[in-house]
Amino acid sequence: MDFNTARINMVKAQVAPNKIHEPELLDGMMAVARENFVAPNQQDLAYSDVPVGMNDSRRCLKPLQSAQLIRALEVKSGDRVLVVGAGTGFEVAVLRNMGAEVFALESDEGLAQKGQSLTESQQVQWLVGALDQGWSDQAPFDGILFCGAVVAIPTRPIDQLTNEGSLVAIVGKPGDAVMTLTRIKGVSGGGHPEALLETVADHLPGCGPSEQFEL
């Protein structure tokens, strides 16, 4: 399979036509070899418009969902961003290519080890821990991105935002056919979430029941 052509097609056919026009984000997605961030037997699906397995129990977001979440963060070069449920680090790598200083939180040690290896040259700090706790030792953050669905946005990560920072997550209950990509602005913004668009994704562990599947 020609992964370079697949990557170009992903950006041009899936991402850009859906009102994602920021050159830094498009360039960031074009720069990351997504096939390295999925399970070896799933690489031919890496650029498809479907969730793809990272291991036997966790799937990554669709490429468009990753782009929509990152776009909603309104990241600027030099911003400090926490990626929650970072998995193997695809969104981490995209954000790093956009000039952000990135911190990755993952509860699965195996995924975190792979992600750390894949992003080693990008000087990303990784932590294995509970996703709903955030990373208080590195707070505050200009952006916090949840790479999956949550039943409700946990309060501790909200408290780790700067006054002007943004937190984005997909919010919905297990079994919901439609969930909401939601943004919270600032440490005091928990009571005023913004509903940005409708989507659906797997729940992150510790933030709602996880869907189990076999590759």
Band the pLDDT of 215: cuts 50, 70, 90. Answer: very low
Residue 160, domain member (yes or no): yes
CATH number of the domain within which 153 lies? 3.40.50.150
Residue 24, domain member (yes or no): yes
Q: Lay out the sheet containing 101-106: strands in order across.
A: 125-128, 101-106, 80-84, 141-150, 161-171, 179-185, 194-199
In the chain, how many H helices and how many E strands?
6, 7
Cβ pair 7, 31 in contact under 8 A: no
Apex 201 CA angle, 129 and 119, nearest 5: 45
Residues with Cβ < 8 Å from 124, sequence gap 6 or more? 89, 92, 96, 102, 103, 104, 116
Residue 205, domain member (yes or no): no
Q: pTM above the 0.75 mark?
A: yes
Residue 206, domain member (yes or no): no
Band the pLDDT of 94: cuts 50, 70, 90. Answer: very high
180-203 tens-digit pLDDT: 999 999 888 777 899 999 999 999
User: 11: which 2 tokens?
Assistant: 């950006």
| Strand, helix or coil for residue 67 | helix
Angstrom distances, CA of residue 14 to CA of 26, 63, 113: 11, 8, 29
Angstrom distances, CA of residue 162 to CA of 30, 69, 157, 165: 29, 18, 11, 5
105-149 tens-digit pLDDT: 999 999 999 999 999 999 999 999 999 999 999 999 999 999 999
For 161, the domain range is: 3-199
Number of domains in the chain: 1
